[in-house]
Amino acid sequence: MGIDDYGGGTGAQSPVLVVTTNDVPGYHVQKVIGEVFGLTVRSRHLGSQIGAGLKSMIGGELKGLTKTLVQTRNQAMDRLIEQAQARGANAVLMMRFDVTDAADVGTEVCAYGTAVVIAPQPQ
């Protein structure tokens, strides 16, 4: 597995800065737009379920499930960014993930935060 298989987050070309902090050093908040979120639900396919079951008996990382969860989080993050941008934000502060089981058929992943407009602080 390569770095893209088990990592995520926004790239340098993202139109919206997403941070887990309350503020961005060197910037001030001009406008608070409000809460935004990106949500996705993924089901697990039979092959990964069987593989995970076998792997859990002998131990070790469940690489197939890891890759699926990374893809799911990245999709939720993309939807968060789309919603923030559509509402006029150029940043999302205090971004978090919430992950829950969805009716025992899959995993629900929600990326959420506060959409804002930020600008560089005057020198």
Percent of the chain scoring above 90 in pLDDT: 51
Q: What would the two tokens of residue 95 be?
A: 């971004």
Please write the tens of the pLDDT for every residue from 34-54: 999 999 988 865 555 555 555
| Whether residue 3 has pLDDT greater than 80 | no
Sequence-ordered alpha helix ranges (H) in the chain: 3-6, 46-58, 63-86
CB atoms within 10 A of CB 74: 19
Domain-by-domain residue ranges, the chain? 15-120
Average pLDDT taken over every residue of the chain: 85
Q: What would the two tokens of residue 79 be?
A: 């939807």
Phi first, then psi: give them for residue 69, nearest 5 degrees.
Answer: -65, -40
Question: d(Cα 89, Cα 93) in Å, to the nearest integer?
Answer: 10
Please write the tens of the pLDDT for every residue from 13-35: 889 999 999 999 999 999 999 99
Class of domain 15-120: alpha beta
| Whether residue 55 has pLDDT greater than 70 | no
Supply the pLDDT for residue 113: 98
Tell me the pLDDT band of 5, cut-offs 50, 70 and 90: low
Fill in the amino acid letter for 112. Answer: Y
Please write the tens of the pLDDT for every residue from 94-118: 999 998 887 777 788 999 999 999 9
Reduce the DSSP state of residue 118 to 3 states and report it.
Answer: strand
